[in-house]
Amino acid sequence: MLKKLLIIALALGAFGTAAQAQCVDYARNTCRPQISPYVHDGGLNAVSLRAGQTAELKKNFYAGQNYRILVGSQESLAGLELTIKDSQGKVLYQNTDDAPIKYWDFNTRNTTQLTIAITAKQGNNPGAQGCVAVLFGFLTSQDLINQYGN
Q: For the domain that residue 134 is a member of, what is the CATH number?
A: 2.60.120.380
Q: What is the pLDDT of residues 31-56, one digit of tens each?
A: 999 999 999 999 999 999 998 899 99
Choice between 124 and 103, residue whose per-residue pLDDT is larger: 103
Per the structure, how many domains does the chain have? 1
The residue type of 61 is F
pTM: 0.78
Angle at 41 between CA 77 and CA 31, to 5 degrees: 25
| 148 beta partners | none
> Which residues constitute the domain of residue 31?
2-148
CA dist 146 and 34 (Å) reads: 19
Closest CA to 86 of 119, 118, 55, 108: 108
- Position 117 scores a pLDDT of 95
**44, HSE (Cβ side, Cα atoms, 13 Å):** 15
